[in-house]
Structure 1
Amino acid sequence: MFKGIFRKFKPDNQPKYGWFGNYSSWLDVLKEADGYDSGVILERTMKALLKVKAGEAVYERDSVIFDKKDYPFPLLTFLQHSAAKKGSPLHVIDFGGSLGSTYYQIKEFLTVNVCLSWNVIEQEHYVAAGKINFEDDQLKFYNSIDQCIQDKDIDFFLISSAIQYLEEPHIFLNKLAAYHFDFILFDRTAFHYEAEDRLTLQVVPPNIYPASYPSWFFNQEKLLSHFAESYDIITDFPPYIDGEQTLYIDGYPLGYSRGFYLSAKNKIK
């Protein structure tokens, strides 16, 4: 669902794929977009990830199969650090986690002393497919955060390349801060250099899947301001995927991808 794939597009007269425009409303973008719930996205992602699960492929990202993994070392580091700081293994939420792509990417590192459960929050059709094809003793699928926290005492909240695909991201960020999870990790989050957020149309290259959808670029300070009172920003870090450091809007290098590791104040000593 939420997963976008960042690519470095060189400016030219008529770029075909990437991020375009500066829209005034979500509805205006949807008039030109396919949306996130396109069945082809789920179909291609499931087909690729089933090959990973069966050992027929090494790694899947955004429905594309790779013969070598790009490990998200910042995520691995912060998972291990958080578990050590808690003194116990973690219950993790992976918000917008597709069918468990990140889980399968790092599964060998999710040992019993690091991770008790990996819980994906997704759209209903992803959750249904995930439960049938991918759920196991450690990997679980839920329709909402509230549904998940009825079952698990969540310690670590991961949101990777997802917040920019929500219609009302700042309302969501306010709610996220109010849950007061011990740790929050933003990864592969799209920012730009202007004072106000920018709403664009993202057009995905068809070799990934034929789709287009609304995509936000945030002002970094405004996004992080939601957490100023209740969280310490421990560190920020660049994207682990080559080519995501600079993001092009209308063919120009106007954006960038960044991650942040947050720790709740007055909860973890």
Structure 2
Amino acid sequence: MFYLIKELIPPIAHSLKWYSFKHGWKGNYKNYEAAKHKCRGYDEADILNKIKESTLKVKNNEIPYERDGIAYDKVQMNYSLLSSLLYIASKNDNELTLIDFGGSLGTTFYQNYPFLKHLKKLKWCIIEQPKFVAAGREQFENEHITFYSTIKECLAENNVQLFLICNVLQYLEDPYQLLEEINSTGIPHVMLDFIAYNDKPGDRITIQHVPPVFYGIEASYPCHFPDRNRVQSLLGKSYEKKYEFISAPEKYYLQLKPFRYEGSFWEINK
């Protein structure tokens, strides 16, 4: 029995290292408003300043990578995304223009730029909240990266080949409204990345409790675990799913239930 327990402890410990009784995803709320009412929120100015500071360090080559305002000592590559970006560029004479919806101040751009800078044309269009757009235009815009407040504003100036939604859809009050809007754009490719689904019909609406290592304070906000079938049915009106992938190997926990982030790549129906 001693040796059996000894063998079991390492995988159990590894699996539970991402579990927290205090932080993470908790609850099952009737709707987004009910969850929002119980959230502590966060100071948007403090978060923006922290992200601005860390992204400037990446831009100025002082650190290799940042995400959510946290500095990392090496770039955490997303090879499913990178391969899709190169695939799309290869179909468009080595040119690539994409929308990065909710793309902060350029985290994913800087992550992938070393592998895309050889392209004849690279336009990375970030759609963000007004304060992020203002900060982006002031300190981060260049020949490759631009900031917009709406999809309509971006499409008026750019011929976009990819709509990227990375770790954003689940935080929208109505994620399905965004998917309907994407269907109407005619953009040739869509990529969903870092999304976790409810394993039962319908959405599960939770509160995500964020540890202070991210924002310097305790914060919480509503988070959807959307209905997989509804998401795929909506996109399926205009797009064909080409492949799915696991976005990250780590298991996270919705209360005591483990989940992994997933992604999928879609091409418009011809």
Q: Is the 8 A contact 1:24 1:199 kept in 2?
A: yes
Q: CA deviation at 1:36?
A: 6.7
1:10 corresponds to: 19
2:144 corresponds to: 138
- Answer 1 or 2: higher relative contact order, Cα 8 Å, separation at least 6: 1
Q: CA deviation at 1:153?
A: 1.1
The answer as to 2:191 corresponding to 1:182 is no
Cα 1:190–1:250 shift into 2, 3 Å? same
2:262 corresponds to: 258
Q: CA deviation at 1:72?
A: 0.8
- Residues 188-244 of structure 1: CA deviation (Å, up to 9, x unaligned): 0121211111111001111111321111101212111112132110000111x441x
- Out of 101, 111, 129, which is 2:135 matched to? 129
Structure 2 counterpart SS, 1:41:
helix
Q: CA deviation at 1:34?
A: 3.7
2:56 corresponds to: 50
Q: CA deviation at 1:8?
A: 6.1
Q: Is the 8 A contact 1:191 1:219 kept in 2?
A: yes
Distance 1:37 1:262 in 2: 36
Q: CA deviation at 1:180?
A: 2.0
Distance 2:85 2:165 in 1: 13
TM-score when scaled to structure 2? Answer: 0.88
**What RMSD in Å do the two structures reach over aligned CA positions?**
1.8
Q: Structure 2 unaligned segments of length 5 or more: list them.
A: 1-15
2:10 corresponds to: none
Distance 2:207 2:261 in 1: 17
The answer as to 2:207 corresponding to 1:196 is no
Structure 2 counterpart SS, 1:191:
coil
Cα 1:58–1:233 shift into 2, 3 Å? same
Work out the percentage of aligned pairs sharing the same amino acid.
35
1:233 corresponds to: 241
User: Aligned runs of 1:188-227 on 2, under 5 Å?
Assistant: 188-209=194-215, 210=217, 211-227=219-235
Distance 1:116 1:61 in 2: 22
Q: Is the 8 A contact 1:96 1:159 kept in 2?
A: yes
Greater Cα shift, 26-35 or 119-128: 26-35
User: Aligned runs of 1:48-127 on 2, under 5 Å?
Assistant: 48-113=54-119, 115-127=121-133
User: Aligned runs of 1:149-160 on 2, under 5 Å?
Assistant: 149-160=155-166
- Residues 131-185 of structure 1: CA deviation (Å, up to 9, x unaligned): 1111111100000110101110111111100000100111121111111210001
Distance 2:44 2:169 in 1: 18
Distance 2:61 2:129 in 1: 26
Structure 1 counterpart SS, 2:173:
coil
Q: CA deviation at 1:64?
A: 0.7
TM-score when scaled to structure 1? Answer: 0.89
Cα 1:133–1:67 shift into 2, 3 Å? same
Q: How many residue pairs end up in the alignment?
A: 253
Q: Structure 1 unaligned segments of length 5 or more: list them.
A: 1-6
Q: CA deviation at 1:114?
A: 6.7
Cα 1:8–1:212 shift into 2, 3 Å? farther
2:169 corresponds to: 163
Q: Is the 8 A contact 1:89 1:112 kept in 2?
A: no
Cα 1:219–1:28 shift into 2, 3 Å? same
